[in-house]
Amino acid sequence: GREWRLLSRPVGWPKPEDFELAETEIRRPGPGEVLVRNAYVSVDPYMRGRMSSAKSYVAPFELGKAMQGGAVGEVVASEAEGIAPGDHVLHFGGWREYAVFDAKQAVKVDPDAAPLSTYLGVLGMTGLTAYAGLLRTASFTEGDSVFVSGAAGAVGGQVGQIARLKGASRVIGSAGSDEKVKLLVEEYGFDAAFNYKNGPVAEQLRAAAPDGIDVYFDNVGGDHLEAAIGSLNEKGRIAICGMISVYNNTEPAPGPKNLARLIQTRGRIEGLLVGDHYDLQPQFVQEVGAWVRSGELKYRETVVEGIENNLEAFLGVLRGDNTGKMIVKL
Protein backbone atom coordinates (compact mmCIF):
# COMPACT_ATOMS: atom_id res chain seq x y z
CA GLY A 1 0.00 0.00 0.00
CA ARG A 2 1.02 3.60 -0.49
CA GLU A 3 1.48 6.18 2.27
CA TRP A 4 2.39 9.88 2.41
CA ARG A 5 5.43 10.82 4.46
CA LEU A 6 6.76 14.18 5.56
CA LEU A 7 10.38 14.53 4.48
CA SER A 8 11.17 18.06 5.62
CA ARG A 9 9.34 20.72 7.62
CA PRO A 10 7.81 23.25 5.23
CA VAL A 11 8.76 26.91 5.57
CA GLY A 12 5.89 29.07 4.32
CA TRP A 13 3.66 27.31 1.80
CA PRO A 14 4.33 23.55 1.80
CA LYS A 15 6.11 22.37 -1.37
CA PRO A 16 5.81 18.95 -3.04
CA GLU A 17 9.51 18.30 -2.23
CA ASP A 18 8.63 18.34 1.48
CA PHE A 19 6.67 15.10 1.00
CA GLU A 20 6.87 11.68 -0.60
CA LEU A 21 4.33 9.05 -1.56
CA ALA A 22 6.02 5.76 -0.62
CA GLU A 23 5.15 2.12 -1.19
CA THR A 24 5.18 -0.02 1.97
CA GLU A 25 4.53 -3.62 2.95
CA ILE A 26 1.14 -4.20 4.50
CA ARG A 27 1.76 -5.66 7.96
CA ARG A 28 -0.58 -8.36 9.32
CA PRO A 29 -2.41 -7.15 12.42
CA GLY A 30 -1.01 -8.33 15.77
CA PRO A 31 -3.08 -9.20 18.85
CA GLY A 32 -5.72 -6.53 19.46
CA GLU A 33 -5.05 -4.87 16.10
CA VAL A 34 -7.02 -4.41 12.89
CA LEU A 35 -6.04 -3.93 9.26
CA VAL A 36 -8.20 -1.36 7.49
CA ARG A 37 -8.47 -0.43 3.83
CA ASN A 38 -9.23 3.30 3.76
CA ALA A 39 -12.21 4.48 1.75
CA TYR A 40 -12.17 8.21 2.63
CA VAL A 41 -9.30 10.23 4.02
CA SER A 42 -9.60 13.66 5.59
CA VAL A 43 -7.40 16.67 4.89
CA ASP A 44 -7.68 19.49 7.42
CA PRO A 45 -6.07 22.89 7.99
CA TYR A 46 -4.69 21.87 11.42
CA MET A 47 -2.36 19.41 9.65
CA ARG A 48 -0.26 22.40 8.59
CA GLY A 49 0.56 22.88 12.27
CA ARG A 50 1.68 19.26 12.64
CA MET A 51 4.14 19.73 9.77
CA SER A 52 6.02 22.25 11.89
CA SER A 53 8.11 21.32 14.91
CA ALA A 54 6.56 24.02 17.11
CA LYS A 55 5.02 22.80 20.34
CA SER A 56 1.23 22.60 20.05
CA TYR A 57 -1.78 20.64 21.20
CA VAL A 58 -0.88 17.70 18.93
CA ALA A 59 2.61 16.30 18.39
CA PRO A 60 4.40 17.23 15.15
CA PHE A 61 4.41 14.64 12.34
CA GLU A 62 7.62 12.62 12.49
CA LEU A 63 9.96 13.08 9.54
CA GLY A 64 10.21 10.05 7.27
CA LYS A 65 7.10 8.43 8.74
CA ALA A 66 3.54 8.21 7.46
CA MET A 67 1.45 11.26 8.32
CA GLN A 68 -1.78 10.80 10.22
CA GLY A 69 -5.30 12.12 10.06
CA GLY A 70 -8.94 11.17 10.18
CA ALA A 71 -10.05 8.36 7.86
CA VAL A 72 -12.90 5.93 7.36
CA GLY A 73 -12.34 2.47 5.97
CA GLU A 74 -13.31 -1.16 5.89
CA VAL A 75 -11.74 -3.74 8.17
CA VAL A 76 -10.05 -6.42 6.06
CA ALA A 77 -8.41 -8.40 8.87
CA SER A 78 -8.94 -8.32 12.61
CA GLU A 79 -7.22 -9.77 15.65
CA ALA A 80 -9.44 -7.72 17.96
CA GLU A 81 -12.58 -8.76 19.75
CA GLY A 82 -15.77 -7.05 18.63
CA ILE A 83 -14.45 -5.92 15.24
CA ALA A 84 -14.75 -8.18 12.21
CA PRO A 85 -13.78 -7.99 8.54
CA GLY A 86 -16.46 -6.01 6.70
CA ASP A 87 -17.00 -3.58 9.58
CA HIS A 88 -16.44 0.10 8.85
CA VAL A 89 -14.43 2.22 11.23
CA LEU A 90 -13.46 5.84 11.82
CA HIS A 91 -9.84 6.09 12.88
CA PHE A 92 -6.72 8.19 12.73
CA GLY A 93 -4.61 6.37 10.14
CA GLY A 94 -5.18 8.69 7.21
CA TRP A 95 -2.75 9.76 4.44
CA ARG A 96 -2.40 6.06 3.42
CA GLU A 97 -4.24 3.27 1.63
CA TYR A 98 -4.00 0.63 4.37
CA ALA A 99 -3.62 1.16 8.10
CA VAL A 100 -2.82 -1.28 10.92
CA PHE A 101 -3.52 -0.08 14.44
CA ASP A 102 -4.85 -0.93 17.90
CA ALA A 103 -8.58 -1.52 17.59
CA LYS A 104 -9.12 0.68 20.65
CA GLN A 105 -8.32 3.67 18.41
CA ALA A 106 -11.19 2.83 16.05
CA VAL A 107 -14.85 3.78 16.32
CA LYS A 108 -17.32 1.62 14.41
CA VAL A 109 -19.54 3.55 11.99
CA ASP A 110 -22.65 2.46 10.14
CA PRO A 111 -22.54 2.95 6.34
CA ASP A 112 -26.31 2.46 6.16
CA ALA A 113 -27.07 5.23 8.68
CA ALA A 114 -25.18 7.93 6.75
CA PRO A 115 -22.74 8.10 3.82
CA LEU A 116 -19.27 7.08 5.03
CA SER A 117 -17.70 10.41 4.09
CA THR A 118 -20.02 12.32 6.44
CA TYR A 119 -18.29 10.77 9.47
CA LEU A 120 -15.33 12.98 8.55
CA GLY A 121 -17.39 16.12 7.96
CA VAL A 122 -20.93 17.12 8.69
CA LEU A 123 -21.39 14.37 11.33
CA GLY A 124 -17.73 14.20 12.30
CA MET A 125 -14.92 16.32 13.73
CA THR A 126 -15.63 19.50 11.77
CA GLY A 127 -19.35 19.30 12.56
CA LEU A 128 -18.71 18.89 16.26
CA THR A 129 -16.32 21.83 16.13
CA ALA A 130 -19.07 24.02 14.72
CA TYR A 131 -21.65 22.77 17.21
CA ALA A 132 -19.52 22.99 20.35
CA GLY A 133 -17.82 26.20 19.33
CA LEU A 134 -21.04 28.04 18.67
CA LEU A 135 -23.15 26.69 21.51
CA ARG A 136 -20.53 26.30 24.20
CA THR A 137 -17.52 28.52 23.52
CA ALA A 138 -19.48 31.40 22.02
CA SER A 139 -22.45 30.81 24.39
CA PHE A 140 -24.87 31.33 21.50
CA THR A 141 -28.40 32.24 22.57
CA GLU A 142 -31.54 32.76 20.54
CA GLY A 143 -31.73 36.24 19.07
CA ASP A 144 -27.95 36.64 18.71
CA SER A 145 -26.58 38.12 15.53
CA VAL A 146 -23.81 35.80 14.34
CA PHE A 147 -20.89 36.39 12.00
CA VAL A 148 -18.73 33.49 10.79
CA SER A 149 -15.67 33.56 8.53
CA GLY A 150 -14.60 30.67 6.32
CA ALA A 151 -18.34 30.33 5.97
CA ALA A 152 -18.36 28.13 2.87
CA GLY A 153 -15.93 25.71 4.49
CA ALA A 154 -16.71 22.60 6.52
CA VAL A 155 -16.87 24.20 9.97
CA GLY A 156 -18.13 27.64 8.90
CA GLY A 157 -21.03 26.46 6.77
CA GLN A 158 -22.34 24.47 9.66
CA VAL A 159 -21.87 27.25 12.23
CA GLY A 160 -24.06 29.60 10.21
CA GLN A 161 -26.79 27.03 9.66
CA ILE A 162 -26.89 25.85 13.28
CA ALA A 163 -27.20 29.50 14.32
CA ARG A 164 -30.06 29.98 11.86
CA LEU A 165 -31.84 26.81 13.01
CA LYS A 166 -31.46 27.83 16.65
CA GLY A 167 -33.02 31.23 16.16
CA ALA A 168 -30.27 33.72 15.39
CA SER A 169 -31.60 37.18 14.63
CA ARG A 170 -29.15 37.50 11.74
CA VAL A 171 -26.46 35.25 10.23
CA ILE A 172 -23.62 36.80 8.25
CA GLY A 173 -20.83 34.91 6.51
CA SER A 174 -17.68 35.72 4.59
CA ALA A 175 -15.94 33.58 1.99
CA GLY A 176 -13.37 33.89 -0.76
CA SER A 177 -15.43 33.80 -3.95
CA ASP A 178 -18.69 35.21 -5.30
CA GLU A 179 -19.87 31.68 -6.00
CA LYS A 180 -19.36 30.71 -2.36
CA VAL A 181 -21.19 33.86 -1.24
CA LYS A 182 -24.12 32.88 -3.44
CA LEU A 183 -24.21 29.41 -1.88
CA LEU A 184 -24.34 30.91 1.62
CA VAL A 185 -27.33 33.09 0.89
CA GLU A 186 -29.25 30.95 -1.57
CA GLU A 187 -28.67 27.46 -0.20
CA TYR A 188 -27.48 27.72 3.39
CA GLY A 189 -29.98 30.45 4.30
CA PHE A 190 -27.55 33.11 5.55
CA ASP A 191 -29.13 36.58 5.80
CA ALA A 192 -26.07 38.25 4.31
CA ALA A 193 -22.66 37.27 3.01
CA PHE A 194 -19.68 38.93 1.35
CA ASN A 195 -16.53 38.04 -0.54
CA TYR A 196 -13.61 39.20 1.61
CA LYS A 197 -11.49 39.58 -1.53
CA ASN A 198 -13.83 42.28 -2.89
CA GLY A 199 -12.91 44.99 -0.37
CA PRO A 200 -11.95 45.76 3.23
CA VAL A 201 -13.54 43.24 5.64
CA ALA A 202 -14.46 45.92 8.21
CA GLU A 203 -16.45 47.93 5.67
CA GLN A 204 -18.17 44.91 4.20
CA LEU A 205 -19.06 43.62 7.67
CA ARG A 206 -20.51 46.96 8.75
CA ALA A 207 -22.69 46.98 5.63
CA ALA A 208 -23.84 43.38 6.20
CA ALA A 209 -24.45 43.85 9.95
CA PRO A 210 -25.52 47.47 10.44
CA ASP A 211 -26.72 46.67 13.98
CA GLY A 212 -23.48 44.95 14.94
CA ILE A 213 -22.82 41.34 15.92
CA ASP A 214 -23.20 39.41 19.18
CA VAL A 215 -21.10 36.42 18.16
CA TYR A 216 -18.09 36.06 15.89
CA PHE A 217 -16.91 32.54 15.05
CA ASP A 218 -13.35 33.00 13.80
CA ASN A 219 -11.85 30.53 11.34
CA VAL A 220 -9.50 33.00 9.74
CA GLY A 221 -7.85 35.57 12.08
CA GLY A 222 -6.16 38.71 10.73
CA ASP A 223 -8.38 41.43 9.25
CA HIS A 224 -11.48 39.37 9.94
CA LEU A 225 -10.84 39.29 13.69
CA GLU A 226 -10.11 43.00 13.82
CA ALA A 227 -13.26 43.77 11.84
CA ALA A 228 -15.36 41.55 14.12
CA ILE A 229 -14.07 43.29 17.25
CA GLY A 230 -14.98 46.59 15.57
CA SER A 231 -18.58 45.42 15.01
CA LEU A 232 -19.00 43.65 18.36
CA ASN A 233 -22.05 44.57 20.41
CA GLU A 234 -22.14 44.79 24.20
CA LYS A 235 -21.42 41.44 25.86
CA GLY A 236 -20.36 40.08 22.50
CA ARG A 237 -18.48 36.78 22.31
CA ILE A 238 -15.73 35.71 19.94
CA ALA A 239 -14.80 32.04 19.58
CA ILE A 240 -11.34 31.55 18.15
CA CYS A 241 -11.53 28.30 16.22
CA GLY A 242 -8.86 28.77 13.59
CA MET A 243 -6.59 31.36 11.99
CA ILE A 244 -6.05 29.96 8.55
CA SER A 245 -4.90 33.33 7.15
CA VAL A 246 -1.65 33.00 9.13
CA TYR A 247 -0.87 29.26 9.00
CA ASN A 248 1.77 29.68 6.31
CA ASN A 249 3.29 32.88 7.68
CA THR A 250 6.97 32.78 8.49
CA GLU A 251 6.70 35.85 10.77
CA PRO A 252 4.11 36.24 13.55
CA ALA A 253 1.11 38.20 12.28
CA PRO A 254 0.25 41.49 14.01
CA GLY A 255 -2.64 41.30 16.48
CA PRO A 256 -5.87 43.27 16.23
CA LYS A 257 -5.32 46.98 16.89
CA ASN A 258 -8.70 47.57 18.51
CA LEU A 259 -8.68 45.24 21.52
CA ALA A 260 -9.59 48.17 23.81
CA ARG A 261 -13.07 47.89 22.36
CA LEU A 262 -13.48 44.81 24.57
CA ILE A 263 -13.55 47.15 27.59
CA GLN A 264 -16.36 49.23 26.20
CA THR A 265 -18.36 46.18 25.10
CA ARG A 266 -17.37 43.88 27.99
CA GLY A 267 -16.67 41.49 25.13
CA ARG A 268 -15.05 38.09 25.52
CA ILE A 269 -12.60 36.21 23.29
CA GLU A 270 -12.10 32.52 23.95
CA GLY A 271 -10.20 29.79 22.14
CA LEU A 272 -11.79 26.47 21.31
CA LEU A 273 -10.38 22.99 20.86
CA VAL A 274 -12.77 20.34 19.58
CA GLY A 275 -11.00 17.64 21.59
CA ASP A 276 -12.45 19.14 24.78
CA HIS A 277 -16.01 18.66 23.61
CA TYR A 278 -16.46 14.99 22.74
CA ASP A 279 -18.97 14.70 25.60
CA LEU A 280 -21.32 16.62 23.27
CA GLN A 281 -20.90 14.07 20.46
CA PRO A 282 -24.11 12.04 21.10
CA GLN A 283 -26.24 15.18 21.42
CA PHE A 284 -24.56 16.68 18.35
CA VAL A 285 -25.10 13.59 16.18
CA GLN A 286 -28.71 13.34 17.26
CA GLU A 287 -29.60 16.99 16.68
CA VAL A 288 -27.53 17.71 13.58
CA GLY A 289 -28.17 14.24 12.12
CA ALA A 290 -31.90 14.96 12.22
CA TRP A 291 -31.44 18.32 10.47
CA VAL A 292 -29.30 16.68 7.79
CA ARG A 293 -31.90 13.96 7.20
CA SER A 294 -34.76 16.47 7.04
CA GLY A 295 -32.79 18.69 4.67
CA GLU A 296 -32.94 21.68 7.02
CA LEU A 297 -29.16 21.70 7.25
CA LYS A 298 -27.33 21.49 3.94
CA TYR A 299 -23.76 20.39 3.49
CA ARG A 300 -21.26 20.15 0.66
CA GLU A 301 -18.23 18.00 0.16
CA THR A 302 -15.38 18.51 -2.25
CA VAL A 303 -14.14 15.04 -3.12
CA VAL A 304 -10.72 14.49 -4.69
CA GLU A 305 -10.00 10.99 -5.98
CA GLY A 306 -6.86 8.93 -5.43
CA ILE A 307 -4.20 8.65 -2.72
CA GLU A 308 -1.76 10.25 -5.18
CA ASN A 309 -3.82 13.45 -4.92
CA ASN A 310 -3.90 13.53 -1.10
CA LEU A 311 -1.25 16.27 -0.90
CA GLU A 312 -2.86 18.39 -3.61
CA ALA A 313 -6.18 18.09 -1.77
CA PHE A 314 -4.54 19.32 1.42
CA LEU A 315 -2.92 22.27 -0.37
CA GLY A 316 -6.29 22.94 -1.98
CA VAL A 317 -7.86 23.47 1.46
CA LEU A 318 -5.26 26.11 2.28
CA ARG A 319 -5.93 27.80 -1.06
CA GLY A 320 -9.72 27.64 -0.77
CA ASP A 321 -10.36 25.16 -3.59
CA ASN A 322 -12.97 23.44 -1.42
CA THR A 323 -16.60 24.14 -0.74
CA GLY A 324 -17.64 22.29 2.38
CA LYS A 325 -15.49 19.44 3.68
CA MET A 326 -12.48 18.47 1.58
CA ILE A 327 -12.21 14.69 1.38
CA VAL A 328 -9.99 12.26 -0.52
CA LYS A 329 -11.75 9.20 -1.89
CA LEU A 330 -9.57 6.14 -2.37
d(CA 288, CA 319): 28
Measured from the CB atom, the residue of 98 and 140 that comes closer to ligand NDP is 140
**Minimum Å distance from CB 212 to ligand NDP?**
21
Give the contacts of 201 (CB within 8 A, at least 6 positions apart): 174, 223, 224, 226, 227
Chain centroid offset of residue 94 CA? 15
Least spacing, CB of residue 217 vs ligand NDP, in Å: 9
Residue 243 to residue 246: CA distance in whole angstroms: 6
Q: Is 296 helix (H, G, I), strand (E, B) or coil?
A: coil
Task: CB nearer to ligand NDP: give 46 or 291.
Answer: 46
Facing residues of 193 across strands? Answer: 173
Closest approach of ligand NDP to the CB of residue 104, in Å: 22
247: nearest Cα among 169, 157, 315: 315
**Distance in Å, CB of 307 to ligand NDP, minimum:** 20
CB of 48 to ligand NDP, least distance (A): 8
Q: How far apart are CA 76 and CA 90, in angstroms?
A: 14
The whole-angstrom separation of Cα 10 and Cα 176 is 24
Helix residue spans in 169-298 (DSSP H): 178-186, 201-208, 222-230, 261-265, 281-294
Encode 122-157: b = buried (16+ Cβ within 10 Å), e = exposed: bbbbbbbbbbbbbbebbebeeebbbbbbbbbbbbbb
Given the complex with ligand NDP, which of 38 and 129 has the nearer CB atom? 129
> Smaller CB distance to ligand NDP: residue 100 or 272?
272
What residues line the site for ligand NDP (CB under 6 A)? 44-46, 126, 129, 150, 152-156, 175-177, 180, 219-220, 241-242, 244-245, 272-274, 317-318, 320, 322
- Please say which residue, 1 or 45, places its beta carbon nearer to ligand NDP: 45
3-state secondary structure of 123: coil
Least spacing, CB of residue 15 vs ligand NDP, in Å:
17
What is the smallest separation between the CB atom of 225 and ligand NDP, expressed in angstroms? 11
User: Residue 74 or residue 223: which is nearer to ligand NDP going by CB?
Assistant: 223
How many CA atoms are closer than 13 Å to the CA of 234, on its beta-carbon side? 0
Which CB sits closer to ligand NDP, 170 or 180? 180
We find the least distance from the C-beta atom of residue 171 to ligand NDP, in angstroms, to be 16
**Closer Cβ to ligand NDP, 232 or 272, answer by number:** 272
Which of residues 127 and 236 has its CB atom nearest to ligand NDP in the complex? 127
State the nearest-atom distance from the C-beta of 44 to ligand NDP, in Å: 5
Residue 108's SS3 state is strand
CA-closest candidate to residue 239, choices 163, 152, 182, 321: 163
